[in-house]
Amino acid sequence: MKKRIMIVGPTQAGKSTLANILNDTSRPLKKTQDVIYGKNTIDTPGSYIENPSMYKYLIATAQTASHVLLLIDSSRPVEVYPPGFAKTFTCPVSGVMTKVDLKTENVPLCIHQLQSIGVSEPYFRISLTDNTGVEELKEYLLGLSSLVRHWL
């Protein structure tokens, strides 16, 4: 079974846009209603993290993921993740701050949130309008997947 990167975050945080970039595709952007399996990603609906009764679906879906990306929208850093949430996953978890170009002053708050939910550094700061930080994230994920293959 192919392992994919699962992308989790609140509505409008940039999950589908990031999935398009990581899949090298241009799927039309619209509100994601269901889990969408792409070539390299698992794009999850924002409602799955915004509604605690849906957490079980995220945890179950992550069983087929090689990595989980937890997104925080820097332009509106609402706290949607419960404390320690990252620890519920058995695969590596990384924190991604999206839209950093819109509200750079919120970066310290986003870092605090990532620490609270149990995500360790490195934290990735990206902008999907000009692709700031995207190559760094891709290289990191590519490096992890080759490291995983090396150990298998």
Q: Say which CATH number the domain at 35 has.
A: 3.40.50.300
pTM: 0.89
- Domain range spanning residue 112? 4-151
- If one counts the domains in the chain, the total is 1
Catalogue the E-assigned strands of the chain. Answer: 4-8, 36-37, 41-43, 65-73, 93-98, 123-125
Interhelix angle 15-23/134-151, nearest 10 degrees? 60
Alpha-carbon distance of 80 to 3, in angstroms, equals: 26
| Per-run averaged pLDDT (10 residues), the chain, 152 residues | 85 92 76 82 94 94 94 92 95 95 93 96 92 91 58 33
Do the bridges between strand 36-37 and strand 41-43 make them parallel or antiparallel, or are there none, so unpaired? antiparallel
At 152 the pLDDT is 32
At 151 the pLDDT is 34
Give the distance, in angstroms, between the CA of residue 73 and the centroid of all CA atoms in the same chain. Answer: 11
